[in-house]
Chain A
């Protein structure tokens, strides 16, 4: 039955071999933290490590208020809801979070999902039916591809961040009946680049398509109030559906879709991932509700995050690493060799820096990435430590040239 995974098994073994010959080499896809000390530190294999691969953008997983509310909710409403809201009922806290989030986003309606992944898997098939068209950015997250696969709509990809290619496709489909839904992300999770939302909105307006923006990595990160890329680019009025997650900046788990469209509420009776999953447990709802309140009360968290992102990006760029095109809290070192990336990842862990290893085919242009995510909770000293470690290992492994050699080759 599982023989079909033979090639995958061999590729994994090869990766582990390439990663390190040391006996303490870690499996990049099976990292086991012994203790989580806070949003920026954990214990791994008996050693303290700095966490630079968590998506914990605002560092709220240990926020005292969130913990207090979560504990109170467990005591008050119990550990779980034991069923879906359609079959087993809605708790007051679900409805309160939906209202609060709708208010925060300035939207008429919000639907909660049990994970961010399920938000896309649930909303895309419910929105786009048999006669409709889904137009996905080619670098979309797996949850968007999976949601599209479950939809009866006709699905097409357009070139990543290319409004002209999107326009060409929408023109081609212009006289076909059915609605067209464009799906893009605020910040793309592998390289941290952002959608050219103003240009995409111009295409949407001209062609009469609908637009869904997944703000999973940009909620609590971009915009004066942390509402995401649409807020930052002044395009919220043109975004028909906002998808997001609670498992990154808000430090919990869960997902949502928000919209101003009339009858959006009907999707509660049409989205299978909403109807046939147990709803979020009370503690998670309470923690996320409090995190949203913290975000509203402390906008300086977004400013801290932006400052930390610029600190890490500029430090790594100055060292000579090839990075993504934009400063964002996702900063990836681009490498062309999977074995080299695995070795680099292991060396970083040995000196106490945890980042993510992202490999093809999950990465754009088949690059091997050392993906870091920055948090508002990182101190400048921790970021300097990470830059120092990455630079010295980069030199050691030949990813970076010695600064004097770099000068010499430039002079030649």
Chain B
């Protein structure tokens, strides 16, 4: 999935979570700062990332979240972990074959 597509899934997740006003959701870009611009507290960020983990079928460790500042950072982490997930599935298939 391209970074652009990942960001559109993130925006969709922000919208459906309902904590961020729609007019702010309309202005989200890769540069949007999650805490400052979306005004999410630490628990809201963790809950939001849990929602994205489900959508992307991935796992993001909490210590990795500490480095996430912008929507772009988040997209990178989700994509990176997804790539690992893909490798995992392939390697499992290899074992089964």
Residues of A within 8 A of B (CB): 138, 148-149, 154-157, 159, 165, 168-169, 172-175, 360-361, 366
Q: In the complex, A175→B61 CA distance in Å?
A: 16
Collect the chain A residues with CB atoms within 8 Å of residue B54's CB: 165, 168
CB pair A157–B88 under 8 Å, yes or no, is no
Q: Kindly state whether residue B13 has any CB partner on chain A within 8 Å.
A: no
Contact A172 B58, beta carbon cutoff 8 Å? yes
Other than A156-B61, A157-B50, give 18 A-B pairs with Cβ distance below 8 A: A138-B46, A154-B63, A155-B61, A155-B62, A155-B63, A156-B59, A157-B46, A157-B62, A165-B54, A168-B54, A172-B58, A173-B59, A174-B88, A360-B43, A361-B41, A361-B42, A361-B43, A366-B43
CB distance from A158 to the nearest CB of B (A): 8
| Nearest Cβ on chain A to B48's Cβ, whole angstroms | 12
Q: Which of B44, B63, B85: most chain A Cβ within 10 A?
A: B63
Nearest CB of chain B from residue A139's CB, rounded to whole Å: 10
Residues on B with beta carbons closer than 8 Å to the beta carbon of A148: 62
Which of A138, A169, A361 sits near B59, CB closer than 8 Å?
A169
B61 partner, pick from A154, A159, A361, beta carbons under 8 A? A154
CB of B91 closer than 8 Å to a CB of A:
yes
- Min distance, Cβ A342 to any Cβ of chain B, angstroms: 19
Closest 7 CB pairs of A and B: A361-B43, A154-B61, A155-B62, A172-B59, A156-B59, A169-B59, A361-B41
For A156, the chain B residues whose CB sits under 8 A away are 59-62
A-B interface contact total, Cβ < 8 Å: 40
Known: A154-B61, A157-B62. A175 touches B47 (CB 8 A): no
**Closest residue to A361 on the B side, CB-wise?**
B43
A155-B41 Cα distance, complex, nearest whole Å: 19
In the complex, what's the smallest C-beta–C-beta distance from B17 to chain A, in angstroms? 11
Query: What sequence of 0s and 1s flags, for each residue 59-80 of chain B, a beta carbon within 8 Å of any chain A beta carbon?
Result: 1111100000000000000000
Pairs A–B under 8 Å by Cβ, sample size 27: A138-B46, A138-B50, A148-B62, A149-B62, A154-B63, A155-B61, A155-B62, A155-B63, A156-B59, A156-B60, A156-B62, A157-B46, A157-B50, A157-B62, A169-B59, A172-B57, A172-B58, A172-B59, A172-B85, A174-B88, A174-B92, A175-B88, A175-B91, A175-B92, A360-B43, A361-B42, A361-B43
Task: Give complex CA distance A168, B47 in Å.
Answer: 17
Q: Which of B43, B47, B57, B59 has the most CB of A within 10 A?
A: B59
Task: Compute how far the CA of A337 lies from the CA of B61 in the bound complex, rounded to whole angstroms.
Answer: 32
Cβ of B68 to closest chain A Cβ, rounded Å: 15
B38-56, CB under 8 A of A: which get 1 and which 0?
A: 0001111011001001100
B35 to chain A, nearest CB (A): 12
Complex contacts, B58 vs chain A, CB 8 Å? 172
Residue of A nearest to B19 (CB): A366
Q: How near does chain B come to A229, taking the closest CB pair, in angstroms?
A: 24
Chain B residue nearest in CB terms to A173: B59
Q: How far is the CA of A175 from the CA of B95 in the complex (A)?
A: 11
A138 x B88 contact (CB < 8 A): no
Which residues of chain A are near B41, meaning CB under 8 Å? 361
Contacts of A165 in B (CB 8 A): 54
- CA–CA, A173 and B41, complex, Å: 28
What A residues does B62 contact at CB under 8 A?
148-149, 155-157
User: In the assembled complex, how far is the CB of residue B11 from the closest CB belonging to chain A, in whole angstroms?
Assistant: 22
Chain B: minimal CB distance from A145 (Å):
9
Q: What's the minimum C-beta distance from B33 to chain A, rounded to whole angstroms?
A: 17
CB of B43 within 8 A of CB of A172, answer no
The distance in angstroms between the C-alpha atoms of A173 and B63, with both chains bound, is 16
Among A148, A154, A173, A360, residue most surrounded by chain B Cβ atoms (within 10 Å)? A154
- Residue of B42, B47, B57, B63 near A138 (CB, 8 A) is B47
Bound CA–CA A360/B92 (angstroms): 42
A172 & B88 in contact (Cβ 8 Å cutoff): yes
C-alpha spacing A366/B54, complex, angstroms: 21
The answer for the CA separation of A149 and B22 in the assembled complex, in Å, is 34
The CA of A165 and the CA of B62, in the complex, are separated in Å by 16
* A179 smallest CB distance to B (angstroms): 15
CB distance from A89 to the nearest CB of B (A): 37
Contacts of A154 in B (CB 8 A): 61, 63
Residues of chain A with a CB closer than 8 A to B44's CB: 361
A174 partner residues in chain B, CB cutoff 8 A = 88, 92
> How far apart are A74's CB and chain B's nearest CB, in angstroms?
42
State A154–B42 Cα separation when bound (angstroms).
18
A76 CA to B10 CA, complexed, in Å: 64
CB-based nearest B residue for A172: B59
Q: CA A98 – CA B62 in complex, angstroms? A: 34
